[in-house]
Amino acid sequence: SAVISQKPSRDICQRGTSLTIQCQVDSQVTMMFWYRQQPGQSLTLIATANQGSEATYESGFVIDKFPISRPNLTFSTLTVSNMSPEDSSIYLCSVDRGRETQYFGPGTRLLVL
């Protein structure tokens, strides 16, 4: 298993601002993932973050809107830029341990006014 923490756990932000979400893992992992769940929707993969390379974004998500950093094997950040109310979601990071399963953080609950 893996122990994953996220900061902040929740936030309320004004439209047009940006928020950076941190994800910390208790051990080194190769792959980290960022997901979001909009109200009433499925958990959706935003991007895959590998240490030492640029993140790989899924269709519908772009780096300018969701820049990701992966400075080492235990840490990653996701920034939600120029926020609008449509960005109100739960954002989760997860890690992959050999594709047997993914382990998730507790999530960041974001409300954009």
Partner 1 sequence: ILNVEQSPQSLHVQEGDSTNFTCSFPSSNFYALHWYRWETAKSPEALFVMTLNGDEKKKGRISATLNTKEGYSYLYIKGSQPEDSATYLCAPSSNTGKLIFGQGTTLQVKP
Looking at 8, 16, 71, 106, which residue binds partner 1 (CB under 8 A)?
A: 106
Output the smallest distance, CB 80 to partner 1, in A.
Answer: 20
Of 17-25, 65-73, 76-84, 91-99, the window that binds partner 1 (rule: CB under 8 A) is 91-99
> Quick one: 14 or 41, whose CB is closer to partner 1?
41
Q: Which stretch binds partner 1 (CB under 8 A): 12-20, 65-73, 79-87, 97-105?
A: 97-105
47 vs 112, beta carbon nearer partner 1: 47
HEC-encoded secondary structure of the chain? CCCEEEECCEEEECCCCCEEEEEEECCCCCEEEEEEECCCCCCEEEEEEECCCCCEECCCCCCCCCCEEEEECCEEEEEECCCCHHHCEEEEEEEECCCCCEEECCCEEEEEC
In whole angstroms, what is the distance from residue 47 CA to residue 56 CA? 5
User: Within 26-85, which residues bind partner 1 (CB under 8 A)?
Assistant: 31, 40-45, 48
Cβ(96)–Cβ(35) under 8 Å? Answer: no
Interface contacts to partner 1, rule CB under 8 A: 4, 31, 40-45, 48, 92, 96, 99-107
